[in-house]
């Protein structure tokens, strides 16, 4: 069971690499891979993302369900936990920012262990938080660094970021610290899914597919940078021509780039249909973005339909005469009076 | 749609950020710039094929540095068995003499700043 869950996505990614090799061999398909594919996948990404976001925005939040992790706003002499139990717009923004940039709820993950002498010991378990944060920060910096292929003259902060990332000045071309960190983090994120029995049980093929696709993109990118090189000038000319909507392939670009771009395009096109939509979904999390003010304001279920109710008073008005006739007790003697 | 104002604002901000390169290049009006490195030709060809040099010159230069500085090797045998003296100034700079018009054109274009010139002098003609 577990084997299949891992091997099928792995096979899919290896299949994509082989497909890239095949496409590279057939000169007639170069235009498709280098130009048509990025446009198609980019269009799927943007259209899919907006579609998903609008679908989410159309779903009502039936209950007021903030996850409360601290003292809610109460009497003036009781100290409120402003981030754990936000009661106004500013506090909930703070909670969202901490969630988006620091993964605060993962940081709060704890673990209970049996210590000797049959004691229970509570402690933090922050490996997932660390691995997740290392992965996402590296991914952001790597994506940001890629702007050097899409801006001319290169956007200055991109150069500063690259200098900082290549601070070690090891090897030529310079080794980027984030390249190493993202690979280590990806290995950890994969390993925890296969090593820990509980995580293995709840892991789905789609979890592995996302991991393997990102791994494939990262590994092919790192190898393309430092071992199997391609002509970067042609790569940038291609990238620039794509974003100015006047696509041309100006020179021969090698196989490593074909592998990298086919994996990256697949990832981009798969994004709106995958768990990676958590990037937008985090903003729609009711447990994170709602105020804990249910004792101050009444939350009305937005899908409540105006219901036609028939109260007992109206019922009695309707059947009073019949009820009196058969001797049933009535609450009021006449319509509208007590 | 619930909270439509916020959602539309969010989508708009996302689209503005995601399309950053497109409008940045419109502002700089350099979207169709292509580097054109200048070579003063004395031989018809570089020591290896053009494509190899375009893709791997940095590795070759690193090997040359290690050979000349650390291993005391001064002769490079190219893949067509021609031999060249391992010497940046005497061999490479003979044709590629102008840093600004040759090296920098592509390096600036692809946003790389190799640290060659931390130690090496920039030839006068290319300052």
| Chain A interface test: which of B55, B56, B63 (most A C-beta within 10 Å) | B55
- How many structural domains is chain A composed of? 2
Query: Is residue A312 located within the same domain as residue A165?
Result: no
φ/ψ of B75, rounded to 5, equals -115, 130
Inter-chain touch B112–A243, beta carbons under 8 Å: no
A196: left (phi over 0), alpha (psi -120 to 50) or beta: beta
Q: Which residues of A touch B (CB under 8 A)?
A: 46, 49-50, 53-54, 57-61, 147-155, 158-159, 162-163, 169, 172-173, 229-233, 236-237, 240-241, 243-244, 246, 250, 252, 254, 283, 302
Query: Is residue A62 located within the same domain as residue A170?
Result: yes
Q: Closest partner residue to A159 among B11, B59, B111, by Cβ?
A: B111
Query: Is residue A164 located within the same domain as residue A303?
Result: yes
Question: What pLDDT was estimated at residue A61?
Answer: 83
Q: Is the pLDDT of residue B41 over 90?
A: no
Q: Closest partner residue to B21 among A232, A243, A252, by Cβ?
A: A243
φ/ψ of B77, rounded to 5, equals -100, 115
Share of chain A above pLDDT 90, in %: 70
| Chain A interface test: which of B3, B109, B119 (most A C-beta within 10 Å) | B109
Q: What is the ipTM of this complex?
A: 0.90
Question: What pLDDT was estimated at residue B45?
Answer: 80
Name the average pLDDT for chain A: 91
Query: Is residue B16 located within the same domain as residue B77?
Result: no
Query: Is residue B23 located within the same domain as residue B39?
Result: no
Q: Is the pLDDT of residue B3 over 90?
A: no
Query: Which range of residues forms the domain containing residue A320?
Result: 308-338
Q: Is the pLDDT of residue B32 over 90?
A: no
Q: How far is CA A96 from CA A62, A85, A93, A214, in A?
A: 21, 12, 5, 26
Average pLDDT of span A227-232 = 92
- How many structural domains is chain B composed of? 2
Query: Is residue B15 located within the same domain as residue B59?
Result: no
Task: Name which of A158-172, A213-227, A263-277, A297-311 the model is least confident about.
Answer: A297-311
Q: Which chain B residues touch A50 with a CB distance below 8 Å?
A: 11
Question: What pLDDT was estimated at residue B31?
Answer: 84
Query: Is residue A338 located within the same domain as residue A243?
Result: no
| Class of residue B118 by CB neighbours under 10 A (exposed 0-12, middle 13-18, buried 19+) | exposed
Query: Is residue B42 located within the same domain as residue B27?
Result: no
Selected residue with higher pLDDT from A1 and A107? A107
**Chain B: closest CA distance from residue A336 (Å):** 40
Query: Is residue B79 located within the same domain as residue B112?
Result: yes
Query: Is residue B8 located within the same domain as residue B42?
Result: no
Query: Is residue A284 located within the same domain as residue A314?
Result: no
Query: Is residue A184 located within the same domain as residue A327?
Result: no
The C-alpha torsion from A225 through A226 and A229 to A231, rounded to 10°, is 50
Query: Is residue A321 located within the same domain as residue A218?
Result: no
Residues 6+ away with beta carbon under 8 Å from A301 = A60, A62, A63
Query: Is residue A247 located within the same domain as residue A315?
Result: no
Query: Which range of residues forms the domain containing residue B63?
Result: 34-126
Query: Is residue B22 located within the same domain as residue B60?
Result: no
Query: Is residue A57 located within the same domain as residue A67?
Result: yes
Query: Is residue B7 located within the same domain as residue B60?
Result: no
Query: Is residue B72 located within the same domain as residue B118?
Result: yes
Query: Is residue B56 located within the same domain as residue B118?
Result: yes
Query: Is residue B76 located within the same domain as residue B108?
Result: yes
Query: Is residue B24 located within the same domain as residue B38?
Result: no
Inter-chain touch B1–A58, beta carbons under 8 Å: yes
Tens of pLDDT, residue by residue over A230-280, are 999 999 999 999 999 999 888 889 999 999 999 999 999 999 999 999 999
Kindly state the tokens that stand for A268: 């981009």
Query: Is residue A188 located within the same domain as residue A314?
Result: no
Selected residue with higher pLDDT from A3 and B20? B20
Asked whether A268 and A45 are in contact (CB, 8 A), the reply is: yes
Kindly state the tokens that stand for A185: 């983090």
Question: What pLDDT was estimated at residue B125?
Answer: 57
Tens of pLDDT, residue by residue over A19-61, are 999 999 998 899 999 999 999 999 999 999 999 999 999 988 8
Instruction: With CA atoms as reference, report the closest residue to B28 among A154, A239, A243.
Output: A154
Query: Is residue A104 located within the same domain as residue A253?
Result: yes
């Amino acid at each position: 069971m577990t084997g299949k869950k891992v091997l099928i996505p792995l096979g899919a990614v290896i299949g994509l690499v082989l497909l890239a090799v095949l496409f590279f061999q057939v000169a007639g398909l170069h235009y498709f891979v280098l130009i048509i594919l990025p446009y198609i996948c980019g269009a799927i990404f943007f259209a899919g993302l907006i579609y998903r976001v609008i679908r989410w925005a159309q779903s009502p939040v039936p209950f007021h369900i903030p996850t409360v992790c601290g003292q809610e706003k109460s009497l003036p002499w009781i100290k409120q936990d402003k981030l754990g139990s936000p009661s106004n717009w500013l506090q909930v923004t703070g909670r969202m920012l901490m969630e988006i940039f620091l993964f605060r709820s993962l940081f709060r993950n704890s673990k209970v262990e049996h210590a000797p002498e049959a004691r229970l010991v509570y402690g933090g378990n922050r490996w997932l938080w660390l691995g997740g944060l290392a992965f996402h920060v590296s991914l952001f910096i790597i994506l940001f660094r890629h702007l050097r292929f899409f801006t001319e003259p290169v956007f200055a902060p991109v150069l500063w970021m690259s200098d900082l990332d290549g601070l070690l000045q090891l090897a030529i071309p310079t080794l980027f610290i984030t390249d190493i960190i993202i690979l280590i983090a990806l290995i950890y994120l994969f390993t925890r899914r296969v090593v820990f029995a509980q995580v293995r049980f709840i892991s789905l093929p789609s979890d592995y597919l996302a991991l393997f696709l990102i791994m494939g993109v990262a590994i092919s990118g790192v190898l393309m940078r430092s071992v199997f090189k391609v002509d970067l000038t042609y790569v940038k000319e291609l990238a620039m021509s794509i974003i100015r909507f006047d696509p041309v392939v100006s020179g021969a670009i090698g196989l490593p780039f074909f592998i990298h771009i086919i994996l990256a395009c697949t990832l981009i096109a798969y994004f709106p249909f995958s768990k990676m939509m958590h990037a937008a979904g985090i903003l729609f999390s009711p447990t994170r973005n709602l105020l804990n003010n249910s004792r101050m304001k009444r939350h009305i279920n937005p899908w409540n339909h105006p219901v036609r109710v028939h109260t007992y008073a109206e019922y009695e008005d309707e059947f009073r005469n019949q009820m009196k006739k058969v001797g049933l007790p009535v609450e009021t003697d006449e319509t509208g009076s007590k | 749609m619930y909270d439509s104002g916020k959602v539309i604002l969010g989508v708009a901000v996302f689209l503005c950020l995601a399309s950053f390169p497109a409008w940045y290049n419109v502002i700089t009006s350099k979207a169709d710039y292509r580097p054109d490195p200048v070579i003063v030709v004395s031989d018809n060809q570089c020591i290896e094929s053009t494509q190899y040099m375009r893709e791997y010159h940095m590795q070759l230069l690193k090997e040359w540095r290690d050979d000349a500085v650390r291993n005391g090797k001064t002769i490079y045998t190219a893949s067509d068995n021609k031999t060249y003296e391992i010497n940046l100034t005497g061999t490479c700079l003979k044709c590629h003499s102008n840093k600004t018009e040759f090296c920098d054109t592509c390096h600036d274009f692809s946003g790389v700043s190799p640290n060659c010139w931390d130690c090496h002098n920039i030839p006068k003609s290319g300052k």
